[in-house]
Structure 1
């Protein structure tokens, strides 16, 4: 079956995550290997720590190796039997993505879990090293390239998973294929929403294509709820930071609680691929992990296919599902 011919509905909600899912329900992950991007703080650190506590070996893929080293020491203190490595990865620079993946593939034949967690939010207009709008380039294109280049290791594992952290703010996103880099019009929150919308569309298309190719790799998207992390205020003006600190203090859940949907999607046995996991609460900010339905803009198959093709072209990263390999197109 061609990857473009499957009629599977994106983000099915027919599966129900068992009530009361929590850290105590995580399976033994001894012998498993995970890569977590942005693992030096917040949700990424909590995710990496709990994976290691469950027995997994973890690679912390971080922009700052100094902070990553501190995080690794924190994790090793509670997970002495797991191997924790720190590797530099700057998702806003495709040369850094290539360096990370080349080294990883040299060191590891297989990868059981990739958690695409790192992200930035509502920054002033800037561009990546490759000229992409910073939020779209970091949150989506960097992870698209990373996942594609790690595909050989993912397919070499048994039932590997790719978990990508999105947000309910994907509802604010709008994919203008005539201005994906927001050169004509830029709004901080809308650009963030667009990058999170891209995360969802990427997840749906990745799971469809892998399934159609007969691979055991499954893809999941996650919404952590309103978690108290630095993501919501980093890069904001001082007044905005002060204002944001109020709801963050009063309403937000802890980073550990926010990481539960990530950990659930990463480890729950028999979880169907291509689902969106997030808090069950009516507000979407808190609650036990459940399978949720993203907004209609994230369920547009035509947009997912077009985004995939554009992302492939922009990053020069080609997923070859039939050969379980990935190659770069010639430099332009």
Structure 2
């Protein structure tokens, strides 16, 4: 009976438009991205802008704990977030792991320390779908810095957290949960941590983890209903694949707009912003998809040579984190130190400005509600 239920669930899942959108369009956009990467590395000698190195001025005593720059990573309880925490702790960062589960955070801390005795780590609980939780986190990390007699600043923020929810869920603020975690939470967290980033006496950076799925968005209004995801809640069938694509496009638009604003702001002259795309990585992000289908997808991607493990996929995040301070407003892809040009829509300045205004309005609304 259980086998029949599993088969029925899988059959119903593949008989949806959203499944075929993922299966066909996402695969094609991934292949397209790798073809662009191949052409860039083959014909453009300057496409590779990073080839390894050390953290940005890691020996600055004024901004570090035990001489280490401070890095905050969201979604650090598993997958790419945990892999990034491990990799960057080896690169000389004091890593602050952020996630929803204290139990999983403790496990990741133990795993990293078992492989790296010298790792400097700190963990905080945070629910990115709640502004109250974000503000509480900002207060907690600020007090931690002061209590530890450290300069009140951070040098690196990695907005890595993200989900692929196949069913409709609404946050306490009335937003779609996937948009709230994948984009709004990253925007709000960056906003509240911006003073700490700008206060760094050495160059600081924001790294936003986006996705090749953004290529599948050809048009997007930057109104309140779209950004909060409430317009999708009216759909008869929850368009989870489209919402995921929208959230990743929003992260790119946000990256480029923050880069432009940082370039204009006098106090942000040393703040750089980059987007990274690890490609297809085998993590638990597909946990809500029937296991037989997700496993089949991984097998096909592996056969095509398009699938990375978390340890391999994290290289794109490390590239973005360690690139020289002057590198900003770019899109790293594939973990090869190369940058690609993302979709034309992601470079639409007017759309980015409208998205910024809408996001700031939502942020202010959430602040008042909190």
TM-score interval w.r.t. the shorter chain?
Answer: 0.7 to 0.9
1:191 aligns to 2:243 (yes or no): yes
CA distance in 1 between counterparts of 2:197 and 2:204 reads 6
Alignment match, 1:88: 125
Alignment match, 1:73: 110
Q: By how many angstroms is 1:16 displaced?
A: 3.3
Asked if the contact 1:123–1:135 (Cα under 8 Å) also holds between the matched residues in 2, the reply is no
CA distance in 1 between counterparts of 2:169 and 2:95 reads 31
> For the pair shown, which has the larger CA radius of gyration, 1 or 2?
2
Asked if the contact 1:92–1:134 (Cα under 8 Å) also holds between the matched residues in 2, the reply is yes
Per the alignment, do residues 201 and 78 of structure 1 end up closer, same or farther by CA in structure 2, a change over 3 Å counting? same
1:237 aligns to 2:282 (yes or no): no
TM-score, length-normalised on structure 2?
0.75
Provide the secondary structure at the position in 1 that maps to 2:117. coil
TM-score, length-normalised on structure 1?
0.83
Q: Which moved more, 1:207-216 or 1:264-273?
A: 264-273
Alignment match, 1:10: none
Alignment of 1:246-265 (within 5 A): 246-250=299-303, 251=305, 252-265=307-320
Asked if the contact 1:203–1:220 (Cα under 8 Å) also holds between the matched residues in 2, the reply is yes
Alignment of 1:1-332 (within 5 A): 16-18=47-49, 21=51, 25-27=53-55, 29=58, 30-108=67-145, 109-157=152-200, 158-173=202-217, 174-178=219-223, 179-180=225-226, 181=229, 182-185=232-235, 186-214=238-266, 215=268, 216-231=270-285, 233-250=286-303, 251=305, 252-279=307-334, 288-316=336-364, 330-331=368-369
Asked if the contact 1:206–1:219 (Cα under 8 Å) also holds between the matched residues in 2, the reply is yes
CA distance in 2 between counterparts of 1:64 and 1:200 reads 27
Q: By how many angstroms is 1:176 displaced?
A: 3.2
Q: By how many angstroms is 1:271 displaced?
A: 4.6
CA distance in 2 between counterparts of 1:267 and 1:60 reads 18
Q: By how many angstroms is 1:129 displaced?
A: 2.4
Alignment match, 2:34: none
Q: Structure 1: which 5+ runs fail to align? A: 1-12, 280-286, 318-327
**CA offset digits 1:275-299 (Å, max 9, x no partner):** 00002xxxxxxx6231111011111
Q: By how many angstroms is 1:330 displaced?
A: 3.8
Asked if the contact 1:165–1:222 (Cα under 8 Å) also holds between the matched residues in 2, the reply is yes
